Amino acid sequence: MKSVMEALKDNFNKTLNIRTSPGSLDQITVVTADGKLALNQISQISMKSPQLILVNMASFPECTAAAIKAIRESGMNLNPEVEGTLIRVPIPKVTREHREMLVKLAKQNTNKAKDSLRRVRTNAMNKVKKCKDKVSEDTIRLVEKQIGQMADDTIAELDKYLAVKIKELLG
């Protein structure tokens, strides 16, 4: 359950920021002939200015088109421009619409995290139920109650974190 929470925090920090950093492009997945790779594994990413990120594809020039496609489809509202093996990614001004889109993405990510959490809880409950012949029913009920309480607490924590992120995004 903690790993679900950590994954959500990590996701928020990397993809749902108003301030842009070169690290915000790191997690973009590029489909190449070798399979799916993170953009930072096949390129050098640097900031030229607060409004411009440069992605140097010199080490894998054959992946330039795939990288451009991945950046466009990242959901980060980016429109890259190509110059040989150099991809220029202008950062759009942060508009109200963009902030609202980020909030929408944050809610979607939180819902996915809650789904993952429910799967973790269900798996734990199933494991406990398999131990029926070894442990008393009272113990099983107690453990199930504890698992349910842990899941509820984690969901509350996810909601709290989402509220903080929405406040940060909307200002």
- State the average pLDDT for the chain: 86
Residue that wins the pLDDT comparison between 74 and 100: 100
Edge-to-edge strands of the sheet including 81-83? 44-49, 52-56, 86-90, 81-83
pLDDT(153) > 90: yes
Does domain 96-170 correspond to CATH entry 1.10.287.950? no
pLDDT(157) > 80: yes
Quick one: pLDDT band at residue 18, thresholds 50, 70, 90?
A: low
First to last CA, the chain: 29
* 77-112 pLDDT per residue, tens: 788 999 988 999 888 777 788 788 888 988 999 999
Where in 6-91 does DSSP place strands (E)? 29-32, 35-38, 44-49, 52-56, 81-83, 86-90
Domain ranges of the chain: 20-90, 96-170
Q: What is the mean pLDDT of residues 104-126?
A: 92
Q: What is the mean pLDDT of residues 60-81?
A: 85
Which of the following CATH numbers is that of domain 20-90: 3.30.1360.40, 2.60.120.650, 3.30.540.10, 3.20.20.80?
A: 3.30.1360.40
Q: What is the mean pLDDT of residues 104-124?
A: 92
Instruction: Give yes or no for a contact between 86 and 54, defined as CB atoms under 8 angstroms apart.
Output: yes
Identify any residues that bridge with 31 across adjacent strands, giving them in sequence order: 36
pLDDT at 72: 87
pLDDT(33) > 90: no
pLDDT(123) > 90: yes
pLDDT at 77: 72
pLDDT at 22: 64
